[in-house]
């Protein structure tokens, strides 16, 4: 993963504002009155144990979920009034890869590139494949790829349309240490171009270095919000363990 080309223009990421954002499913409250502002160009790590609401938060920001109560604003515009074309500014990597096992690496990217209306398709796909270090696997079926390669391809898919808001839901899960390090370098490079990056994680050791800000969720509530600093690691570790206990 070489990181986005140096020539990539500085983007103007949207400013995200959450106002008492709540999402519930019957009795279960996934997000509980979140108040939060994320400025363009921030690199945010969302920490929390499984079920703390990280996935719900990221999916809501990706416009996959609509809030039950409260508001989500992109550049002061409420999410439900956004034009469908706004989705083109968001890149999202979920727990699953969103890839078709029976298609090859290149076919998957061609497919998504065409859905995003990228013209011409091939040069951009080739570019992303090189960037992610997948150019020697273009004709492999996704089914045959390792977890690490699949995750790289999932990143490539989310990066095809050069979104200016990158949302990654536990992207490091199941990756070995070198692959993880490469991904973090790549994300840091993305952040360098001025993009907003949100990454969720339940294990802070892996994900704190490049972040500028830390959010900690517990049972759907925001319990910590502050800038990233080396001394935070201990504190966060303690809080995550306390939540586990």
Partner 1 sequence: MTTWRVSTTIFRKDLLAERRTKEVFTAILLFGFTVAVAFTFAFEPTAEEARAIAGGLLWLAFLFSAVLGLNRAFARETANDCLRGLRLVPADPGAIYLGKLLSNVLFMVAAELVLLPIFGVFFNLNLWARPGWLLLILLLGTWGLASLGTIFSAVSANTRMQELMLPLLLLPLTVPVLIAAIESTAILLSGRPISEAGLWFRLLAGFDIIFTVLCWLLFGYVIEE
Partner 2 sequence: MNNSASDRFSLALGVPSLLILIGAFYYSFLVAPIESSMAMVEPVQRIFYIHLPSAFISFLSFFVVFIASLGYLITRRVAWDWVAVSAAEVGVVFCSAVLITGPLWAKPVWGIWWTWDARLTTTLILFLIYVGYLMLRLYIPEAQRRALLASVVGILGFVDVPIVYMANRLWRTQHPQPVIAGGEESGLDPRMWWGVLGVFVGLALFAGLLMRQRYRLESMRSELIELERSARD
Residues that bind partner 1 (CB under 8 A): 59, 62-66, 84-88, 90, 92, 94-103, 107, 111-112, 114-117, 157
Binding at 224: pick from partner 2, partner 1, none (beta carbon under 5-8 Å per type)? none
* Shortest reach from residue 217's CB to partner 2, in Å: 15
Give whichever of 154 and 236 is closer to partner 1, judged by the CB atom: 154
Footprint on this chain of partner 2 (rule: CB under 8 A): 24-29, 219
Given a contact cutoff of 8 angstroms between Cβ atoms, the answer to whether 36 and 18 are in contact is yes
Binding at 101: pick from partner 2, partner 1, none (beta carbon under 5-8 Å per type)? partner 1
Give whichever of 52 and 142 is closer to partner 2, judged by the CB atom: 52
* Shortest reach from residue 39's CB to partner 1, in Å: 23
Binding at 90: pick from partner 2, partner 1, none (beta carbon under 5-8 Å per type)? partner 1
Q: Which residues, other chains included, contact 230 with Cβ-Cβ below 8 Å and sequence gap of 6+?
A: none
Gap between the Cα atoms of 18 and 37, Å rounded: 6
Q: Half-sphere exposure of 148 toward its Cβ, with a 13 Å CA cutoff?
A: 13
Residue 123's CB is within 10 A of a number of other CB atoms, namely 11
Give whichever of 87 and 185 is closer to partner 1, judged by the CB atom: 87
Binding at 111: pick from partner 2, partner 1, none (beta carbon under 5-8 Å per type)? partner 1
Q: Half-sphere exposure of 122 toward its Cβ, with a 13 Å CA cutoff?
A: 0
């Amino acid at each position: 993963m070489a990181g986005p080309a140096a020539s990539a223009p500085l983007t103007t990421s949207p400013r995200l504002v959450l106002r008492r954002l709540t999402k519930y499913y019957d009795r279960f409250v996934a997000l509980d009155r979140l108040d939060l502002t994320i400025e363009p160009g921030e690199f945010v790590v969302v920490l929390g144990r499984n079920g703390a609401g990280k996935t719900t938060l990221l999916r809501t920001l990706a416009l996959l979920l609509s809030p039950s109560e409260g508001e989500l604003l992109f550049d002061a515009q409420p999410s439900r009034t956004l034009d469908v074309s706004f989705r083109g500014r968001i890149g999202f990597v979920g727990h699953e890869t969103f890839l078709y096992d029976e298609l090859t690496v290149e076919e998957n990217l061609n497919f998504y590139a065409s859905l995003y209306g990228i013209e011409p398709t091939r040069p951009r796909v080739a570019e992303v494949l090189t960037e992610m270090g997948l150019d020697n696997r273009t004709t492999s079926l996704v089914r045959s790829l390792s977890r690490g390669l699949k995750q790289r391809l999932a990143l490539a898919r989310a990066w095809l349309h050069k979104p200016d808001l990158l949302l990654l839901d536990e992207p490091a899960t199941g990756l070995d240490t070198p692959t993880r390090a490469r991904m973090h370098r790549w994300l840091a490079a993305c952040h360098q171009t001025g993009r907003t990056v949100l990454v969720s994680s339940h294990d802070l050791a892996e994900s704190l270095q490049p972040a500028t800000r830390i959010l900690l969720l517990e049972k759907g509530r925001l319990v910590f919000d502050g800038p990233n600093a080396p001394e935070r690691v201990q504190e966060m570790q303690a809080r995550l363990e306390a939540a586990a206990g």
